[in-house]
Amino acid sequence: MKIRPVSLADAPALAEIYAPYVLETDVTFDTDVPTAEWFEEKIRSITPFYPFIVACEDGEVLGYAYAHEFRPRTAFVWSVETTVYVRRERRGGGVGTVLCRRLEELLKAQGVVNLYACITDTNRESVAFHERLGYGLIGRFENCGYKLGRWLGVVWLGKALGGHGDPPKEVRAAKM
């Protein structure tokens, strides 16, 4: 398995990986499957500053992970929200762990300190996965979204990549 920066040519594979999560699960609150063009725009908006990576094997994209701005105010520049998705048939085989570990390395080198993950509260598998990576529960919103005929909440998990120095190091654009 190879981890590499995402490219615009990966957009159709990203849409294919994400579609079953949208259509068949409450893992995401998206209700409409994003197109390859939508993913191209996401890639364009994230990659100038934050890492966006894919895991590949034999030319096939197995999963992806990225970080993006947590909040738009300057005081939040040391914090990001992380996302990871793996082809459903490849879950449990270590792809997500490898992606997240590499993403953390890139973010730490960038100067990012705080990682946050927003997870549907019914998604115990993802919560447990993030806890194994060192994330801890920091907040909960009850019944904040409605999908698949029921109200769902979200939990926020967080992880610090390093100390909270005073002043903190400057955050720079990701280098792949």
Average pLDDT over residues 27-56: 97
Map out the domains of the chain with their CATH numbers. Answer: 2-160 (3.40.630.30)
The CA distances from residue 147 to 33, 137, 172, in Å, are 14, 23, 37
pLDDT digits (tens, 9 = 90+) for 49-64: 999 999 999 999 999 9
- Which of 155, 55, 47 has the alpha carbon at shortest distance from 110? 47
Q: 111: helix, coil or strand?
A: coil
pLDDT digits (tens, 9 = 90+) for 107-154: 999 999 999 999 999 999 999 999 999 999 999 999 999 999 999 999
| Exposed/middle/buried for residue 164 (C-beta within 10 Å: 0-12, 13-18, 19+) | exposed
Rg over CA atoms, the chain: 16
